[in-house]
Amino acid sequence: MDADITILGAGPVGSALALLLADGAPDPSRIVLCRAPARPPAGQAWAHTADPRAIALNHGSRLLLQRLRAWPAHGAGIHAIHVSQRGRLGRTVIQDTDFGVPALGSVHTYGSVQAVLHQALASAGVTLRDGHAELASAGEDAIEINQNDRRWRSRVAVQAEGGPRAGTPGVLSRSYGQHAVLALVRAAAPRPGWAWERFTGEGPLALLPVRFEDSAEDTYSLVWCCAPERADQLAALDDARFGQALSEAFGDRLGPLAGAGPRHVFPLELRWRREPVAGRIVAIGNAAQTLHPVAGQGLNLGLRDAAALADTLHGWLRAPEGDPRPRLQDYARARRADRAVTAGVTDFLPRVFATRWSLVEHACGLGLLALDALPGVKRPLARQLMQGLRV
């Protein structure tokens, strides 16, 4: 057999899995990680690092990456999250001091997270192969994999890139009728350490503090979910008019807001693979579930997938001649609850707050007030967002 485990996709989830598996593996070189070249959006040049997209890492993800010695140096800590609803009463604030943690999470560029993970991989002993790879065939005793002009057999294949295809049997799909506008903005009255989630009639609007090496504390990463037509209109505005529209939707808590660079628009869908394991093939991260960006849970859930899969396979790696399929089924069962709860929360919130039914909107406002008034209600939700359901 050419490889014990082949990981298709070297994004943060696939790279973290490779590092976790290599730690304690008898022969890390039998773990193959396939890296496809990253590409910027058409017509755009990435600045700051290889990829400046902002990603939010929660407290649980921080602990995992620190354990791997792959925690990026630059980032903006999140010490409080303010959640509100536009045009209705009700708001709640979640703070790190309520849970005895140094931060609820932090925001980093995708490129900085990738860079530190790949730096750690350079000395991990994992076999790195560059180029797009794909599954060629799945047999009873091995998976065949193609990459450029290379072909090899692996006992286990892990899909860690791409996403479940809508219409595929076993894949739950939902279109939200929303597109996300991603942009960097600047605030006239920034509040360092605070992140903001504001629900509007068209969808949630999030502002996350972000720090590049050369940026001031007035910069935020924006994820603005709205109707597709509205998203296209916003993307076409100049920075000044875009800032005015954003200030109107968000409010005055950060003072006037201004656009600070190009904007990108992406359609939003839920795609959730009911069973992430098929024989010797297992899907993790976005390959297993593509979630709505509300509350920034997608990458954090994927990193929990990687940690759980590594824990499940560590014992098998010491004697890989045995059949790994029972272990993979154990993994699928162990991840069922966390995947379902996280997908359920991120699916429910953007839909219920965007019903445009006044009774539902008022009920949502009462729910936000209840979170502030009843710590016993707030605590389980906050812990789910900080570290997920760990069993």
Question: Per residue in 29-69, pLDDT tens?
Answer: 999 999 987 655 444 444 444 455 789 999 999 999 999 99
Angle at CA 349, nearest 5°, toward 185 and 352? 115
Q: What is the pLDDT of residue 338?
A: 93
How is residue 88 written in tokens?
């209705």
Fill in the DSSP letter of residue 23. Answer: T
User: The tokens 């900080």 sit on which residue?
Assistant: 386
**Dist. CA 316–CA 100, nearest whole Å:** 37
Q: What is the pLDDT of residue 371?
A: 53
Residue 306 lies in a domain: yes
Fill in the DSSP letter of residue 39. Answer: -
How is residue 217 written in tokens?
């504390």
What residue numbers bound the domain in which 77 lies? 3-170+269-387
Closest C-alpha to 54, from 5, 92, 106 = 106
Residue 106 lies in a domain: yes
**Dist. CA 8–CA 35, nearest whole Å:** 7
**Dist. CA 129–CA 147, nearest whole Å:** 8
**Dist. CA 318–CA 23, nearest whole Å:** 12
| Cβ atoms of 104 and 80 closer than 8 Å | yes
Q: What is the pLDDT of residue 391?
A: 46
Residue 184 lies in a domain: no
User: The tokens 């010797």 sit on which residue?
Assistant: 280
Q: What is the pLDDT of residue 89?
A: 65
**Dist. CA 190–CA 216, nearest whole Å:** 10
How is residue 174 written in tokens?
């939902």
**Structurally, how many domains does the chain consist of?**
1
| Cβ atoms of 144 and 153 closer than 8 Å | yes
Q: How confident is the chain (391 residues) per 10-residue block, as mean pLDDT?
A: 95 97 95 81 45 82 95 91 76 84 90 93 96 92 94 97 87 93 94 92 90 76 95 94 95 93 91 96 97 90 97 94 96 96 86 54 49 56 62 46
| Cβ atoms of 9 and 287 closer than 8 Å | yes
Q: What is the pLDDT of residue 299?
A: 95
Residue 22, Cβ density class (10 Å: 0-12 exposed, 13-18 middle, ≥19 buried): buried
Residue 263 lies in a domain: no
Residue 299 lies in a domain: yes
Helices (H), the chain: 12-22, 59-67, 110-121, 228-236, 239-250, 298-317, 325-352, 358-373, 375-387
User: The tokens 């990463």 sit on which residue?
Assistant: 221
| Cβ atoms of 275 and 346 closer than 8 Å | no
How is residue 123 written in tokens?
């000395």
313-342 per-position pLDDT tens digit: 999 999 888 999 999 999 999 999 999 999
User: In this structure, what CATH number is given to the domain that contains residue 59?
Assistant: 3.50.50.60
| Cβ atoms of 306 and 284 closer than 8 Å | yes
Q: What is the pLDDT of residue 74?
A: 81
User: The tokens 């603005």 sit on which residue?
Assistant: 224
How is residue 275 written in tokens?
């069973």
Read off φ and ψ for residue 255, nearest 5 degrees.
75, -175
347-372 per-position pLDDT tens digit: 888 876 555 545 445 354 545 544 55
Q: What is the pLDDT of residue 175?
A: 92
Type of residue at 42: A
Q: What is the pLDDT of residue 76?
A: 93
Q: Which residues contact 128 (CB under 8 A, 6 or more apart)?
A: 10, 32, 33, 35, 121
**Dist. CA 41–CA 179, nearest whole Å:** 16
| Cβ atoms of 18 and 122 closer than 8 Å | no
**Dist. CA 163–CA 166, nearest whole Å:** 9
Closest C-alpha to 221, from 266, 175, 257, 270 = 257
Q: What is the pLDDT of residue 46?
A: 41
